[in-house]
A and B are shown apart, each in its own frame.
Chain A
Amino acid sequence: MADPVTAEHSPGEHKREAPAAAVLQADGLTKRYGDREALRDVSLSAGRGELVAVIGPNGAGKTTLLSILAGIQRPDSGSVSRAPEEIGWVPQQAAVYGKLTVRENIELFARLEKVEDPAATVDRMLDLTGLRDRADDQVGELSSGNRQRVNIAVGLLGRQPVLLLDEPSAALDPRQRERVWEFVLSLTEAGTTVVYSTHNIQEAERHAQRVLVLADGELLFSGSPRELEQIVERERDRAPVERGDFEEAFVAFLRQRGH
């Protein structure tokens, strides 16, 4: 098994991440589907208010990793430091009811989350998502962007310290993406730790403080986008790359490691 490259350590040197103020920590996560290993001994940690992007090619294990962190799936081995109830989770596809209105969806999940004042929470979420004027529309009639905002709002109802977002901006137009990111950044500023998976490399570079690169279930890199570029630059002879282009650097990084 190849060891993950971290910004603090040279390639080949293996070290589990365990920052002192880690709000979320996972150790040695492994998941198999039959003969296929979807995750192989993946460890990570995230501090308070940190925005962590999980990137990688299709089938890399991003959704599996987030599902395990969220408690949707059980790992074959390894552990997660927090119980599912302590982690907010926003799945890739909106997990809300199309026949209910925006308000009814938020209220339903607020009641299921047993929040103290469901009505006030619904009001707060309508403001937060900017959907007050669509509050009485059925979710099935909303655009995919607005549906995703409801999806995220429901994920935030429990006010957990950690929020997991699986491809939050997939299928959104640029304007809708921007609104979602404004929303997410406001959460991290308030101290919520956000871990999200994405296919959009520019989005990871632009917003994430740290990126985790997964390929074939293996964690290949953990560090800032800049640090990833630097590593690729150091290994130019293995795969040439155009300076200043993070997506190029990411592809070159994978190529350099045989993916």
Chain B
Amino acid sequence: MRWLLLKDLRILRRSPLLVGLLVLYPVVIATLIGFALSRGPDKPQVAFVSLVPESAEEIELGGERIDVTRQAGPLFRAIDPVRVKTREEAIAKVRSGDVLGAVVVPEDTTRKLQAGLEPAEIEVFYNAEDPVKASYVRDTIKSQVADANNALTERYAKVALTFLDLIATGGEYNFFGRDFQVLGLQRSERILTEAQRDLPAGSPAREQVASVIEFARLARENLDLSDDVLASVGTPIRVKQTQLDGGSTPLSSFAVAIAVSVSLMFITLLLAAGALALEREENAFPRLVRGLVSRTGLLVEKAGLAAACSLVVVLMMLAGLGLFVDLDWGRFPLWVAAASAGALAFAAMGLAVGTLTREVRAASLLCVMVSLPLTFLALVPSGSVAPALYDVVRAISAIFPFRPTLDAMDSALNDSGGIVVPLLHLAALFVAFGAASRLGLRRFAAR
């Protein structure tokens, strides 16, 4: 078997283009997948025009001046704004496809906000030629407008609270430059209590004053609760997040696990399937199994070759990725365990493909055709498809090594959960695909 292994390595060494492609292709694919997963889409270009006159850009709430145009800051961070001068120009840019959407802030916006009698409206125009991008623009603008609403609601609530506080406890109030003294319920209650004491016992006015004192007390006590009520009005629903399943892997680290699993899959599958198919393509298989090598020995040699080569490549890849992503090198033995188990399972699958196709080109084609959809299936998140369909997706993913390899690598790299179950899963797949390839060898030599 040692001589066969050396022979295969020698053949690989003499096929630099093949080896280059075998390494580069999965690395490029893995990098693209990782990049796509770890990075959001580009900021969409959105036309923006504020028709609010410069002199009216500020509103006064509770004595505090607010520049409304600054509320657009978060929106501008989420989009690539293209500033225009008129509403018509904004719409024309959307129609011509120069931008994906337009946001128009009408000139009466600050007036409506200042009056607080009716909600101010901003206009949004979409270009729906690309449904994905249109949806992204729509959601981004909605989300940012919701944030601005929240911010303004909080300010309104704060102003309302100031007024309520003034009513409850009294104090000074400035209105258009003039200061007013507000008595407040608390002081009213105190004054009335003192006045009541001066009234003669049995006086009917004493009883009436007592009822006014009681009203003032009740009103003050209930206004004290208004802080919490208004806070609830400002943010009626808060989000409390609780993670039930899965690890706490950052997206970039998960992308590393995906990149490694994809590379491992392509290299191992293609090498195992190709190396076995090559034995038949070169007509050497019948010669080898006439007593020179056992059929099982041949499979073991090919699996070992493919797994060892892919293991070396992915470990080098991890070393390279470690320059950009924070990886815990203390978990290196677990990386090796996860990558080895995945590589062996992929190798067994590759051998099964090799026995099925019996020629290198067909084997390579089938490997790519099978592995790409399986990768995407394994990455389908729960809840994104109907439950029954998701069960089917999970079942299909479970009978191929990509998903358990990804789970094992994620666990090894990011401590995202137990590694034992995915390793056992991979061991089971190795045995199953190994048995299938051994059976497949029965017809391997047939013409």
Interface residues of A (CB under 8 A from B): 63, 67, 70-73, 83-85, 89, 91, 93-100, 104, 108-109, 111-113, 138, 154
Flag B273-304 by CB within 8 Å of A: 1 or 0 each.
00000000011101110111100000000000
Q: Which of A83, A85, A91, A99 has the most CB of B within 10 A?
A: A99
Query: Is the CB–CB distance between A99 and B14 below 8 Å?
Result: yes
Bitwise interface map of B from 49 to 76 toward A, beta carbon under 8 Å scored 1, else 0: 0000000000000000000000000000
Cα–Cα, bound, A83→B290 (Å):
10
A85 and B11 within 8 A (CB):
no
Of the listed stretches B2-10, B183-191, B407-415, chain A binds: B2-10
- Give Cα distance in the complex from A84 to B283, angstroms: 17
CB within 8 Å for A97 and B282 given contacts A112-B3, A112-B292? yes
- Shortest CB-to-CB span from B350 to chain A, Å, is 20
A100 touches B11 (CB 8 A): yes
Partner of A95, one of B4, B14, B287: B287
Q: Is B15 an interface residue (CB 8 A)?
A: yes
User: Which A residues touch B15, using CB under 8 A?
Assistant: 99
Q: A91 near B287 (CB under 8 angstroms)?
A: yes
Contact A85:B290 (CB < 8 A) given known A100-B7, A108-B3:
yes
A97 to B14, CA, bound (A): 12
- Evaluate contact between A95 and B290: CB separation under 8 angstroms: no
Cross-chain contact A112 with B288 (CB below 8 angstroms): yes
**Contact yes or no, B7 A89, CB < 8 A:** no
List A contacts of B283 (CB < 8 A): 91, 93-95
- Is B445 interfacial (CB 8 A cutoff)? yes
**Bound state CA distance, A84 and B292, in angstroms?**
10
A197 to B303, CA, bound (A): 36
Tell me the smallest distance from the CB of B111 to a CB of chain A, in Å: 82
Q: Is the CB of B291 within 8 A of A84?
A: yes
Are the C-beta atoms of B286 and A72 separated by less than 8 Å?
yes
Which positions 1-25 of chain B face chain A at CB distance < 8 Å? 3-4, 7, 10-11, 14-15
Q: B2's closest neighbor in chain A, by CB? A: A111
> Known: A84-B290, A85-B291. Contact between A98 and B282, CB under 8 A?
yes
Most buried by B among A67, A72, A89: A72
Distance to closest chain B CB from A169 (angstroms):
17
Contact A89 B287 (CB under 8 A): yes
Give A95 to B10 CA distance when docked, in angstroms: 17
B7 and A108 form a contact (CB under 8 A) = yes
Which of B15, B286, B287, B447 counts the most A-chain CB atoms under 10 A from its CB?
B287
Contact across chains for B282 and A95 when beta carbons are under 8 A apart: yes
A97 in complex: contacting residue of B11, B290, B291, B445, CB < 8 Å: B11
Cα of A11 to Cα of B282 in the assembled complex, Å = 43
Whether the Cβ atoms of A104 and B10 lie closer than 8 Å is yes
- Chain A residues, Cβ within 8 Å of B291: 71, 83-85
Closest CB of chain B to A93's CB: distance in Å? 5
- Chain B 141-179, CB within 8 Å of chain A: the 1/0 string? 000000000000000000000000000000000000000
What are 21 A-to-B residue pairs whose CB atoms are below 8 Å? A67-B286, A71-B290, A72-B290, A84-B290, A85-B291, A89-B287, A91-B286, A95-B282, A95-B286, A96-B282, A96-B284, A97-B11, A97-B282, A98-B282, A99-B15, A100-B10, A100-B11, A104-B7, A108-B4, A109-B292, A112-B4
> Roughly how many angstroms separate A63 CA and B447 CA in the complex, as a whole number?
10
Q: Which residues of B contact A83 (CB under 8 A)?
A: 291
Determine the chain B residues whose CB is within 8 A of the CB of A70 once the complex forms.
Answer: 286, 290
- Name the residue of chain A whose CB is nearest to the CB of B3: A111
Chain A: which residue is nearest B283 at the CB level?
A95
Considering the chains assembled together, what is the distance between the CA atoms of A17 and B123 in angstroms?
101
A97–B7 CB distance below 8 A: yes
**Closest chain A CB from B287 CB (angstroms):** 4
Inter-chain contacts of B447 with A (CB < 8 A): 63
Whose C-beta in chain A lies nearest to the C-beta of B293?
A112
A94 to B284, CA, bound (A): 8
List the B side residues contacting A67 at CB < 8 Å: 286
B445–A95 touching, CB < 8 Å? no
Within the assembled complex, what's the spacing in Å between the Cα atoms of A89 and B290? 9
CB neighbours (8 Å) of A111 from chain B are 3
Interface contact A99-B292, CB-CB below 8 Å: no
How far is A70 from B283 in the complex, measured between Cα atoms in Å? 14
A201–B15 Cα distance when bound, in Å, is 41
Contact, CB under 8 Å: B445 / A72 = yes
Report how far A55 CA is from B291 CA in the complex, Å: 28
B284 touches A97 (CB 8 A): yes
User: A89 contacts which chain B residues (CB < 8 A)?
Assistant: 286-287, 290
Chain B residue numbers with a CB within 8 Å of A108 are 3-4, 7
**Chain A's nearest CB lies how many Å from the CB of B283?**
4
Q: Please indicate the chain B residues that have their CB under 8 angstroms from the CB of A98 in the complex.
A: 282
The interface residues of chain B lying within 8 Å CB-to-CB of A63 are 447
Measured between alpha carbons, how far is A202 from B287 in the docked complex, in Å? 29
* A53, chain B: closest CB distance, angstroms: 22
- What are the 10 A-B residue pairs with the smallest beta carbon separation, nearest first? A95-B283, A85-B291, A112-B292, A95-B287, A99-B11, A72-B286, A111-B3, A84-B290, A93-B283, A99-B14
Known interface pairs A89-B286, A108-B4; 19 further A-B residue pairs with C-beta atoms within 8 A, sorted by A's residue number = A71-B291, A72-B286, A72-B290, A73-B445, A89-B290, A91-B286, A93-B283, A94-B283, A95-B284, A95-B286, A95-B287, A96-B284, A97-B7, A97-B282, A99-B10, A100-B10, A100-B11, A111-B3, A154-B287
